[in-house]
Amino acid sequence: MSGIACMFPGQGAQYVGMAHDLYKTYGFVRELYAELNEELHFDLAATTFEGSEDQLAQTGICQPAIFAASLAVLDVARERGCLPEQPVGTAGLSLGEYAALCYSEAAPRAAVAGIVALRGRAMQAACEREPGAMASVLSSDTALVESVVAELCAAGQVLAVSNYNSPKQLVISGAVAAIQAAAEQLKARGVRRVMPLKVAGAYHSPLMQPAVEALVPALEELEIVSPKLPLVMNASGQAESDPDRIRKLLEQQVCLPVRWGASMRSMQELGMQSALELGPGTVLAGLLRGVDRRLKVTSLCTLESFDGLSVNS
């Protein structure tokens, strides 16, 4: 085994121009964008490469844009011999799970692109229906954070732990007032850093239930087969192979917490010694340092980032 895992980033990693140099250089990347345009019914390339930051930040746009950029990076990595012949597994952070689904060959790209576009629109609609917020909590006392969330929920607040990113970082998500109350209580109990996140709403919380209801019919129609390599999923933190279970976890994912720390421990049990981050940004590299500083992560999205890299050489 190679000891290399392949990871895909989630929402928030986007930037105008991501993967543009790959698009200009490789005909198969241009073909990918053209194929996705047919499914998405808008010019993804123009929006990603020439649009504004504000436009690209819209949930309904940035999710398919990140998905496309991640697949473009994946295809270039394959063309240049940079993918491991036997990866230990694959995973994606929230939205990134859909790129991992394609990489594992558990579902066809074009159909998944349609699901991703629907997911983005549905989550945006849920955000507009019920405003929410998220905050990063830097604390190694997971039980304390969970206790504060439980107390506020018992008092009628809408709140959840949305991300278990590493042993020292969690994210909370919910109604604006609930996030403010949680931040005050956590700081009063000794948590030094509770940082509001710049997001459109309360992802991975009960406020996303309308998005789940919109996704279920589409996911029920999506053809899913057993993945050809271990697919470690957010909601369980484990490798999943049963198509029906994969479908159910995808349906509930936007409301359930992202168990990224557990996912990475599962990946280590599979033999992960290093990882490729395939897509925009370096968020996953940072999160993996929080899980285990010994893990080397190579982040790929630009032509320059591929220089000198050949995993299979």
Sign of CA dihedral 205, 113, 232, 18: negative
What element of type H or E holds 76?
helix 59-79
What is the side-by-side strand order in the sheet with 296-300? 239-240, 231-232, 89-92, 4-8, 274-278, 296-300
Active-site residue among 20, 139, 162, 204?
204
- The total number of residues shown for the chain amounts to 313
- What does the alpha-carbon distance between residue 93 and residue 29 come to, in Å, rounded to a whole number? 23
Q: Which amino acid is it at 206? A: P
> Do 202 and 175 meet the contact criterion of CB atoms below 8 Å apart?
yes
Active-site residue among 20, 70, 94, 173?
94
Residue 243 C-alpha from the chain's centroid: 20
Residue 162: CB atoms within 10 A of its CB come to: 25
DSSP secondary structure letter of residue 258 = B
Does residue 20 carry a catalytic annotation?
Answer: no
The token pair that represents 172 in the structure block: 């909370």
Does residue 94 carry a catalytic annotation?
Answer: yes
| Closest of 156, 146, 134 to residue 186, by C-alpha | 146
**CA separation (Å) from 242 to 10, 143, 227, 245?**
23, 32, 8, 5
Active site residues: 94, 204
